[in-house]
A and B are shown apart, each in its own frame.
Chain A
Amino acid sequence: MSRDTPVRPPTPAAAPPEPGARRAAAGRRRRASRTEARNARAAAGFLLPFLALFGLCFLAPIGYALRTSLQRTERTGPLGLGGQEHEVFAGLANYAQALADDRFLAGFGRVLLFGAVQIPLMTLLATGLALLLESAAARGITFFRSAFFLPYGVPGVIASILWGFLYVPGISPLVKIAQSVGWNVDFLSRGSVLWSLANIVTWQFTGYTMLVLIAQLKAVPGELYEAARIDGANAWQVARHIKLPMIRPALVLTCVFSIIGTLQLFAEPMVLRPLSSAIDSGYTPNLHAYSEAFVGNNQQLAAAEAVLLALVACAASFGFLRLVGGHGKERG
């Protein structure tokens, strides 16, 4: 282990001795309460800009969504036409409506299926690549690492446009190659388009996951490998019994972020939608909420769906953390 992790706290240069160590106890107590007040004031000053904007962009929308989701629009006037619109309390009616909507639920089922297949596959691929790159047998490590990480620099929308071109029959060289060997492939059919989307996500995020795992692998003390080699362990055994357990926290963390990302799936199906009739406006929960808000013009229902989406994302990530034994819990 000669390589350092780049972000490492520097060791403090010769620190001056703690001042006031010999002061009287009473003075210390008075000073402590003064210090506390001074601390609170200074901390407030540093925290204020962030907290104000955090409140505006995180807490306020949550509150607003919760409130809106409990309302419905009522129109006064003959036949509910014209007149004035005003919001009235609707209880859980919007939630009931969302949960009774088969297309909304089907969207959830779809992203859960997507996650159940894509996340393990991608994690497996990323772990495999990380272990291969960190093994002594690899050559050209810098090139490979950059090549794998490159797609992370391609925004989701661009990646989808790009793969969209590679899926569409008229233009795609992949389809042309497949047809020339007699394979009539259709990346955009009802049965296959979900996995074509999964491919886009995998292409984008495998390299990133891999880099996170590599960082963790580099933190493994070299003596561990030395000891294993002396015990006669082969490369497989080292990977299985030393490396994998060591990167477990990073694996858990990347999985949680993948779960949250998968439930929000939006850009990829949105971009591929014009190319495939299999993708409708309710293909993912997020797409459904978006079209409720902007096409259906039903803000309250969209808000209820956004709340449900956030709840499921929280439940899924906490459920996952519990399932793996809370190893990924950040210290707080």
Chain B
Amino acid sequence: MLTFLNHLISGISLGSVYAIIALGYTMVYGIAKMLNFAHGDVIMVGAYVCFFMVSSFGLHPIIGILLAMVVCTLLGIVIERLAYKPLRQAPSLAVLITAIGMSYFLQNAAQLLWTSNYKMFPAFFTFGGKNGVSFFDGRLNLSWTTIVTILACLVIMVVLTLFTDKTKLGKAMRACSEDKGAAQLMGINVNTTISVTFAIGSALAAVAGVLLCSAYPTLMPTTGSMPGIKAFTAAVFGGIGSIPGALLGGILLGIIEIFAKAYISTQVSDAIVFAVLIIVLLVKPTGLLGKQIREKV
């Protein structure tokens, strides 16, 4: 029973990271109607920036995370300006290919800059020399990383939901996702709104990168790509375009993955994750919380 609880908690923790990454996919998709496959690699960049700030410059981890967020925000905006904005009117396939290209570009640039040798990401979240808290004579362990990850995910979800529902920029984002033309005619600058979306998604990617590497401390230029794809899966699973969907999809995917690893097989856990996705999409093509998309005639 306690082993089950342990697995469940690590599943929720991993799922929280997926959820935060999935937010980036889902928000960008909701507004720009494009899949930003470079998102996973922005995570990697965020983790590297934080790593160097803390290990090489000896800065406080919090400052490291904040700087990583700033760098990723700028990176996100630059990627959008240079690679995606010129293709705003292009067919979506062209944008998709560009995004994949951007993903490889970031990976290879990271390899050139930081070599392909892995780096050990330091343990940030220790309080009083301990890695976490134990219950039942050490049979149930809660690491601080897990606690921080789950809390961060919840806070981000709440803040982001309030932001999109209650603020003028958030509403502008929702308006753009519904009808860009009408939004423009109401005086909303669609390009700025899309940039803001990329900025928010990329800042969250930095947070996700640090949390991910705190839990799984091997940092390589390819670190971001698999979680990126999993988080994309989570976004589709929960219903792409929906913020609560990203949370639900991410957490469910994390739990499924950890359970598959623990009870079935480590080797085929990824296969099981994607099999679940396929089944869900067969039954509910719009994802768990996805809205029925009305085709305009």
Q: Do A and B come from one complex?
A: no
Which residues from chain A sit less than 8 Å from chain B, CB to CB?
none
